Structures are given as structure tokens and as C-alpha cells.
Amino acid sequence: MNHAETCGCPVVRGGKLLLVDPAGVVGEASPEDCAFSTMQCLERTAGGRESTVAVVAGSNEQAQRFALPDLVGMLKRSVRVCRVVAVVSHRHRMLLESFRRNGADFVAVMNFGRLDATGIEEAVMRLGAEDSLERQLALVCPFLNYSAINARTELTVCGAYRNRMVLGPQRLRSCCETASHAQCGQFLTPRCDA
């Protein structure tokens, strides 16, 4: 996918966008524009033609999902990729923190039910300061904690309520993973003491 020099987003002017999709969740991704493994990504970026890499965290398997920030770190340290964008389905605090530690430049929060290569490219073209990892992490409640049930499933719990309150997807998306968390009763009066 070639980006025109007149791209609206200053972070991806010129060069190519490479999608990295180890879980295979991106629809309509051509093999020329997508790497399906870490090794493919490293091979493709070694030539320096890609100016932006979009890493899609689409797996439910925790080990695979948390290996992607390590890939970001390798890309930032060893190849000539200008920008790395993390593509996620929601603002998972621990995953975003890991992407930030490893040097990801931006995050695109997208609906994975309708995820395709064109949609990702359009989202990357619209990235701005509000999509920085720091800005996106500021939206997430600092009391969110995660408890693994097995390799594919985890519970999200409220640390402000002594990790006794399990949070469902609707609550997470409407409050805990948005700026609205600042008005939440548990956030305002945490019961963290034992």
C-alpha cells in the first residue's frame, strides 16, 4: 500500500504500509501488503521500503498477543521503519503499556468485527496526536486489572473495588476504557485497603 506525499497524517507520508497479522483477522489483505508472522515481518522490513508498520493484535491467546509488543521493540531497534502503529480492538491497559514500553508510536482502536486492510490503511492515514500511546492510556482507568483464566480467556476486574468486581465488555467500553472513568464511583473513592 503506497502512501501519497499529500497524506493528511504527517506520520505516514511517503513509503509503504505493511500490515502484520499473525492471527489472520484482517479481511482482504493481499500477501504483498501483509506479513502473517514475526519472521515474515522482519524479512519484509529489512529492505527499508516500509515507512509504517501496523501490528494487528487480533489473537485471543495471551502469549501471542503479548509477543507483538516485542516485535515492535525489534522493529524500532533494528530496522529502518519510521512508525509502528498498534491496531487493537479495545484499550487493554496492560497491552497498551507493553506497546508503549517497546516504542510503538500510535494506537488505532478499531472494530475487529469489520476489520479489513482498507479500513486499517484509512485509520492509519487519519492518525494524529490523540492516537499516541500516552493519550490513549490516559483514557484507561488505572485501576483495571486482568486475571487469566486460561490461555485464551481473562477476567477484567476493578482494582479500586479490591479486584472483587468483574467488568463486562459493555462497562469497559462505556466507562473504564474511556475518559468517563474519572466520574466512576469506584475511581473517585477506591477501596484498595485490605
Kindly report, residue by residue over 113-123, the tens digit of the pLDDT.
888 899 999 99
pTM of the model: 0.87
pLDDT tens, residue by residue, 136-167: 999 999 999 999 898 888 999 999 999 999 99
Instruction: Say if residue 192's pLDDT is above 80.
Output: no
Residue pointed to by grid coordinates 530496522 = 79
User: How far is 35 from 45, CA to CA, in rounded Å?
Assistant: 10
pLDDT tens, residue by residue, 31-63: 888 999 999 999 988 877 888 999 999 877 887
User: How far is 50 from 121, CA to CA, in rounded Å?
Assistant: 13
Rounded mean pLDDT of the chain? 87
The per-residue pLDDT for 51 is 84
> What is the pLDDT confidence band of residue 15, given thresholds at 50, 70 and 90?
low
Q: Is the distance from CB of 123 to CB of 108 less than 8 angstroms? A: yes
Q: Where are the beta strands (DSSP E) in the chain?
A: 16-20, 34-35, 50-56, 83-88, 106-109, 144-148, 154-158, 165-167
AA identity, residue 98: S
| CA angle in degrees (0–180, nearest 5) for 26-118-68 | 40
pLDDT tens, residue by residue, 55-91: 999 877 887 888 999 999 999 987 777 799 999 999 9
CB proximity list for 177: less than 8 A, separation 6 or greater = 90, 91, 139, 140, 141, 144
Helix, strand, coil shares of the chain, percent, nearest 5, are 40, 20, 40
User: How far is 33 from 154, CA to CA, in rounded Å?
Assistant: 32
Please compute the mean of the pLDDT values over residues 166-175 and round it to a whole number.
95
Instruction: Say if residue 184's pLDDT is above 70.
Output: yes
Q: Is the distance from CB of 91 to CB of 61 less than 8 angstroms? A: no
